[in-house]
Amino acid sequence: MNYATILSLEGILCLSFLSVTAAAQEVPWEQYMAAAQKAYKQADFAEAERFYLAALKEAENFGDEDTRLATSLNNLASVYLLQEKYDQAERLYKRTLAIWEKALGPEHPSTATSLNNLGLLYGQQGRYDEAEPLFQRSLSTLEKALGPDHPDVATSLIHLADLYRVQNEYVNPQPLYQRALAIREKTLGADHPKVATALGKLATLFDAEGRDEEAEQLYRRTLAIFERDQGAKHPNVVQIVENYTAFLRKQNREAEAKRVEDRFR
């Protein structure tokens, strides 16, 4: 299983969004950002790229340390990552990180987000040795800045666990996933879709380890949360259905697998 597949349920980026009270000359930047975010949510990445480029052009006028410039760079880089334009994404992520570190300091949560995003980029490219220290620094920064039980800490834990898992490292990812799950259940509630994401991570891990009874329980709970919250056609639901039916077929439970697939068509 490759890194992109393992990461799929969690999502491959953390976008930064700013809420600002704009002066008249700043309105175009806000308009471009809003249009880009709408296109991104609709998975129209070419359109999102076009609007983020326009927003970046506006933001270049705000100064080299302006947080709106960093946000524009980060979001455009994230769209490039989705489109596998890795060189462009890396250049923008590095520039974003430099702005956040200078403007807000190395221990700020926004700096941690930039570290995380650069780590995701390296992970997508198989540059695991470069990704790991970025994820570790991001996690440490978020724990200090936000506390050990913040939802952003859970996301950071999952990204680090994903990295360990794809490398088959000596570090067991299970405790990281379980800690992330506990944080999300505590802070977001037992039926939140981000809880389902963490459950899905554990389900596929247990599946791969042959822990079938535990895996099936987690698959079922994950699917129930996603179906209720996001609808049968949501990409997260489609991915869980694919994982769960593959699990059933490994056990020669073809009829059950088909029933699950039919339910979500």
Provide long-range contacts, Cβ within 8 A and 24+ apart, for 227-231. Answer: 227/264, 228/191, 229/191, 229/192, 229/193, 229/196, 230/193
* pLDDT score of 24: 42
Q: Tell me what the mean pLDDT of segment 86-107 comes to.
A: 96
Would you place residue 229 in the very low, low, confident or very high pLDDT band (cuts 50, 70, 90)?
confident
Rounded Cα distance, 27 and 114, in Å: 25
The average confidence (pLDDT) of the chain is 90
- CATH class assigned to 3-188: mainly alpha
Provide long-range contacts, Cβ within 8 A and 24+ apart, for 156-160. Answer: 156/112, 156/116, 157/183, 158/10, 158/197, 158/198, 158/201, 159/7, 159/10, 159/116, 159/119, 159/120, 159/123, 159/135, 160/132, 160/135, 160/136
Rounded Cα distance, 29 and 58, in Å: 6
Percent of the chain past pLDDT 70, that is, above it, reads 89
Residue, of 26 and 265, whose pLDDT is higher: 265
Q: Tell me what the mean pLDDT of segment 84-108 comes to.
A: 96
Would you place residue 4 in the very low, low, confident or very high pLDDT band (cuts 50, 70, 90)?
low
CATH 1.25.40.10 region(s) of the chain? 3-188
Is CATH 3.30.160 the classification given to domain 189-265? no
**Helical pair 86-104 and 67-82, crossing angle rounded to 10 deg:** 160
pTM: 0.87
Lowest-confidence pick of 28-32, 121-125, 235-239 = 235-239
